[in-house]
């Protein structure tokens, strides 16, 4: 298959799939999701992503209609049905299907999966350098749950696109939180600094892996809040996500940033890519 859509046990090409209008995703965005990539039909960091997916669902009181093992087996099997060995792997669960009512329905949750082709160039595109803009973070206070409620992120991303930039850095007052669809971390004085995993950021899997790489290689890690000023004065600014891994940002709000610790940044990138290659056999 060229791509694949899955809904509650049925699957077909994404463009052929039909979703009930009464799915609560349509009315309320009432659900959570997660996503990663696969290379050579092997899903990278699947256990980490499934763990976060169940945690997000638990924060919203959604009961996922299968076990973690069953979900892992399902995703592992579905990626083999798509021709491309490299894919964007996305799944979500919604609270159920029922006539519109704000109160929770007495219905079983709905499981969705979509699989779309990637190329090896889409994974760890370290040659790309990001330009960012800063935007006040007006999202709600449940950012640690990977919910479907992404309208503020969409609006901010459009603002970045119109400014000729690649991503947004959200901040609440002076405190940097995260990007519109990635995490942001910095290197300063040989220390890897990243925001704490409280309710204001999503606990990114790439962020988790970079922290472990640093700890394994005696690079100090600081998981306390940092400011917009810290961001602008950092030795390096790193945008991280599942397929991006760790991308260097070179400009924020039109001002050049980073570029002062290229060797340390490249070391982290190379170590991360090494892990991906070992786990998936990615050729890059």
Q: Give Dmax over CA atoms of the chain in angstroms.
A: 56
- Asked whether this chain's domains 4-118 and 130-280 adopt the same fold, the reply is no
Which CATH fold topology does 4-118 show? D-amino Acid Aminotransferase; Chain A, domain 1 (3.30.470)
If pLDDT is split at 50, 70 and 90, which confidence band does 113 have? very high
Q: Which of 146, 159, 188, 274 is catalytic?
A: 146
Residue 284: its pLDDT value, please? 82
Distance CA 238, CA 236 (A): 6
- Residue from 162, 145, 134 nearest 56 by CA: 145
Domain boundaries, the chain: 4-118, 130-280
The string of pLDDT tens digits covering residues 264-280 is: 999 999 999 999 999 99
Average of per-residue pLDDT values in the chain: 97
- The answer to whether 273 touches 124, Cβ cutoff 8 Å, is yes
Give residue 65's pLDDT band: very low, low, confident or very high (50, 70, 90): very high
| DSSP bridge pairs for 10 | 7
Three-class secondary structure of residue 237 per DSSP: strand
CATH 2.40.10.10 given to domain 130-280: no
Confidence tier at 20 by pLDDT (50, 70, 90): very high
Q: What is the mean pLDDT of residues 85-112?
A: 97
Active site residue 146: yes
Spatial distance between the Cα atoms of 111 and 127, rounded to a whole number of angstroms: 36
- Sheet strands side by side (includes 110-117): 10-12, 4-7, 110-117, 87-94, 31-39, 42-43
Cβ atoms of residues 12 and 5 within 8 Å: yes
141: Cα separation from own chain's centroid: 18
């Amino acid at each position: 298959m060229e791509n694949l859509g899955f809904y509650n046990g049925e699957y077909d090409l994404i463009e052929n799939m039909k979703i009930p209008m009464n799915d609560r995703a349509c009315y309320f965005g009432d659900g959570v999701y997660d996503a990663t990539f696969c290379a050579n039909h092997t899903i990278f960091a699947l256990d980490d992503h499934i763990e976060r997916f169940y945690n997000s669902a638990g924060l919203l009181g959604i009961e996922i209609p299968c076990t973690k093992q069953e979900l892992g087996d399902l995703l592992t099997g579905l990626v083999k049905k798509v021709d491309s060995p490299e894919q964007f792997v996305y799944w979500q669960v919604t609270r159920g299907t029922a006539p519109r009512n704000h109160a929770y329905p007495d219905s079983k949750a709905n499981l969705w999966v979509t699989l779309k082709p990637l190329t090896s160039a889409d994974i760890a595109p370290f040659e790309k350098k990001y330009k960012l803009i800063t935007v006040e973070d007006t999202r709600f206070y449940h950012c640690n749950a990977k919910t479907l409620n992404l309208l503020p992120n969409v609006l901010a991303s459009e603002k970045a696109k119109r400014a000729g930039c690649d991503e947004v850095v959200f901040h609440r007052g002076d405190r940097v939180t995260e990007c519109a669809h990635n995490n942001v971390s910095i290197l300063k004085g040989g220390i890897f600094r990243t925001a704490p995993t409280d309710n204001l950021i999503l606990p990114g899997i790439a962020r988790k892996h970079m922290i472990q790489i640093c700890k394994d290689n005696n690079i100090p890690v600081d998981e306390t809040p940092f400011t917009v000023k810290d961001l602008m004065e950092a030795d390096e600014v790193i945008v991280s996500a599942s397929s991006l891994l760790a991308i260097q940002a070179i400009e924020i709000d039109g001002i050049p940033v980073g570029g002062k610790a290229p060797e340390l940044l490249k070391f982290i990138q190379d170590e991360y890519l090494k892990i991906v290659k070992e786990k998936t056999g990615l050729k890059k």
